């Protein structure tokens, strides 16, 4: 695939470049409009700066949240444009619509060295439509704004959406540095991981991670399981799990995986069990085999952190996706913090697989530079590891 460097080498001064970014940032729940983590904006800055400084008129597009194909003020990108401008050190113009009058006027007036952000792509039903013609009609309007297209939104490349899949078929197309780095890293952990290779998986449901577990199990030396998904595995071992999150229909599957793994799947040996899902709930640390009937596990316990830390310490390659507990609630953050800190102490190749794991790194104030790579795309990372074709990557390669 052609790259941003190829585009810059061809010359972009005075040309209009449409950049698909992933600016799907989280907002502070208690302060609407205040961005709580601007990591995704920062991640795409090098691409925007390179194009702007080379004289391109840069038109940036992104989605935010899950609006239903129509404008919704809760999901406007206006606060993102403001923060974008602060980080760039220059104004980012904002179009109040995606491809209609305001976007057309501002894109038409854009000059070299200026940056314009379009309103949320998902305010138009054509962005996510499963109908090829509807999606294509929206892609035609987006492509009409520009002379070239750059995809630097790795977090969206697993979606067959207009801005990801259809627009690159209509313009000269290039992969941004962020996308290239993500693909390079994921190829390394899937095709040629240095051994020992340890994968740490957390999150809520086994069903969400089943495909990636099956894909990784033949390749890993150890697969450490925490988060809500560990309770279905514990149930498969014959343990009672109280009122903990449980996927009853996945118990038999977990039993099969445990048998297939032959000891390579490592489960918590203790958990923090609470009376209810609340930061104020009474909680105790108990053996994973002895969870009280009236309590639910909300974090792995200290002995489990030590067990996982020992496994991580000997690894040459580590892939981590999913928190070990409900890290957003202070009493149940120690497991995620402990395992993450153990990964930072390892001098091997460590990858944080985006999503909640990347959010945990920043929320818990951990040193981001201590990890070899922090992915910007949780879902895209997992689908790549599963061996799926990612529509956005395929569109750049074709």
CATH of the domain at 134: 3.40.50.1260
Alpha-carbon distances, residue 300 vs 273, 289, 296, 306 (angstroms): 9, 13, 11, 10
Residue 187 in domain: no
> Is the Cβ–Cβ distance between 136 and 127 less than 8 Å?
no
Question: Catalytic residue at 338?
Answer: no
Strand bridging mode 283-287 / 270-274:
antiparallel
Residues 18 and 113 in one domain: yes
Instruction: Tell me what pLDDT residue 355 has.
Output: 76
Residues 276 and 336 in one domain: yes
Chain centroid to CA 42: 14
Question: Catalytic residue at 355?
Answer: yes
Residue 22 in domain: yes
Residues 135 and 204 in one domain: no
Instruction: Tell me what pLDDT residue 377 has.
Output: 83
Pinpoint the alpha helices (H) of the chain: 4-10, 39-53, 78-88, 101-109, 132-143, 177-191, 206-216, 230-236, 251-261, 302-313, 334-344, 355-363, 378-386, 391-397
Helix (H, G, I), strand (E, B) or coil at 204: coil
Question: Catalytic residue at 335?
Answer: no
Active-site pick, 228, 355, 377, 378: 355
> 64: annotated binding-site residue?
yes
> 186: annotated binding-site residue?
no
Provide mean pLDDT across the span 34-53: 93
With b for 16 or more beta-carbon neighbours within 10 A and e for fewer, the 345-373 pattern comes to: ebebbbbbbbbbbbbbbebeebeeeebbb
Residues 150 and 208 in one domain: no
Question: Catalytic residue at 365?
Answer: no
Active-site pick, 15, 40, 52, 135: 40
Tens of pLDDT, residue by residue over 188-202, are 999 889 999 999 999
Angle at which helices 378-386 and 206-216 cross, to 10°: 40
Whether the per-residue pLDDT at 398 is higher than 80: the answer is no
> 24: annotated binding-site residue?
yes
Tens of pLDDT, residue by residue over 290-313, are 999 999 999 999 999 999 999 999
> 177: annotated binding-site residue?
no
Whether the per-residue pLDDT at 389 is higher than 80: the answer is yes
> What percent of the chain is modeled with pLDDT above 70?
100
Residues 326 and 237 in one domain: yes
Distant-in-sequence, close-in-space partners of 309: CB < 8 Å, separation ≥ 6: 338, 339, 342
Number of DSSP helices (H) and strands (E) in the chain, helices first: 14, 15
Residue 392 in domain: no
Tens of pLDDT, residue by residue over 230-268, are 999 999 999 999 999 999 999 999 999 999 999 999 999
Instruction: Tell me what pLDDT residue 362 has.
Output: 85
> 40: annotated binding-site residue?
yes
pTM score above 0.85: yes
Whether the per-residue pLDDT at 97 is higher than 90: the answer is yes
Active-site pick, 141, 188, 379, 388: 379
> 88: annotated binding-site residue?
no
Residue 334 in domain: yes
> 356: annotated binding-site residue?
yes
Provide mean pLDDT across the span 161-178: 97
Range of the domain at 128: 4-181
Provide mean pLDDT across the span 142-152: 98
> Which of 133, 151, 181 is the endpoint of a domain?
181
Alpha-carbon distances, residue 212 vs 250, 254, 345, 354 (angstroms): 15, 13, 26, 14
Tokens encoding 217: 């199990």
Tokens encoding 163: 């801005």
Residues 224 and 99 in one domain: no
> 335: annotated binding-site residue?
no
> 303: annotated binding-site residue?
no
Could you tell me which of 95, 180, 156, 166 has the C-alpha nearest to residue 131? Answer: 166
Instruction: Tell me what pLDDT residue 363 has.
Output: 84
Tens of pLDDT, residue by residue over 103-119, are 999 999 999 999 999 99
> 63: annotated binding-site residue?
yes
Active-site pick, 83, 170, 188, 205: 205
**Structure-token match 């070990």, residue found:** 324
Residue 394 in domain: no
Residues 24 and 127 in one domain: yes
Whether the per-residue pLDDT at 22 is higher than 80: the answer is yes
């Amino acid at each position: 695939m052609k790259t941003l460097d190829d585009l810059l080498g061809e010359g972009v001064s005075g040309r209009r470049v449409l950049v698909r970014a992933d600016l799907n940032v989280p907002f502070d729940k208690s302060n609407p409009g205040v961005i709580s983590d601007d990591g995704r904006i920062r991640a795409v800055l090098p691409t925007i700066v390179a194009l702007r400084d080379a004289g391109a008129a840069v038109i940036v597009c992104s989605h935010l949240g899950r609006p239903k194909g129509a404008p919704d003020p809760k999901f406007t990108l206006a606060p993102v444009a403001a923060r974008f401008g602060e980080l760039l050190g220059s104004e980012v113009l904002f179009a109040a619509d995606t491809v209609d009058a305001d976007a057309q006027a501002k894109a038409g007036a854009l000059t070299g060295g200026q940056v314009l952000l379009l309103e949320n792509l998902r305010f138009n039903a054509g962005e996510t439509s499963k109908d090829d013609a509807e999606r294509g009609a929206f892609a035609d309007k987006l492509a009409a704004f520009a002379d070239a297209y750059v995809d630097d939104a790795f977090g969206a490349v697993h979606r067959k959406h207009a801005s990801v899949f259809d627009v690159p078929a209509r313009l000269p197309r290039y992969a941004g540095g962020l996308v290239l780095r993500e693909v390079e890293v994921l190829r390394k952990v899937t095709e040629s991981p240095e051994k020992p290779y340890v994968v740490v998986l957390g999150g809520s449901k086994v069903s969400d991670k089943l495909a990636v577990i099956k894909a990784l199990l033949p390749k890993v030396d150890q697969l450490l399981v925490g988060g809500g998904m560990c309770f279905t595995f514990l149930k498969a071992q014959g343990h009672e799990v109280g009122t903990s999150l449980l996927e009853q229909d996945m118990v038999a599957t977990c039993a099969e995986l445990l048998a297939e793994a032959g000891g390579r799947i490592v489960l918590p040996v203790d958990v923090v069990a609470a009376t209810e899902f609340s930061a104020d709930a009474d909680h105790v640390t108990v053996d994973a085999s002895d969870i009280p009937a009236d309590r639910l596990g909300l974090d792995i316990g200290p002995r489990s952190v030590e067990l996982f830390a020992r496994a991580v310490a000997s690894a040459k390659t580590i892939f981590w996706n999913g928190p070990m507990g409900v890290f957003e609630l202070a009493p149940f953050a120690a497991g995620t913090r402990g395992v993450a800190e153990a990964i930072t102490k390892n001098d091997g190749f460590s990858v944080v697989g985006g999503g909640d794991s990347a959010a945990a790194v920043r929320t818990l104030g951990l040193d981001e530079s201590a990890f070899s790579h922090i992915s910007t795309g949780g879902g895209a990372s997992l689908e790549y590891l599963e061996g799926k074709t990612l529509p956005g990557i395929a569109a750049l390669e074709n």
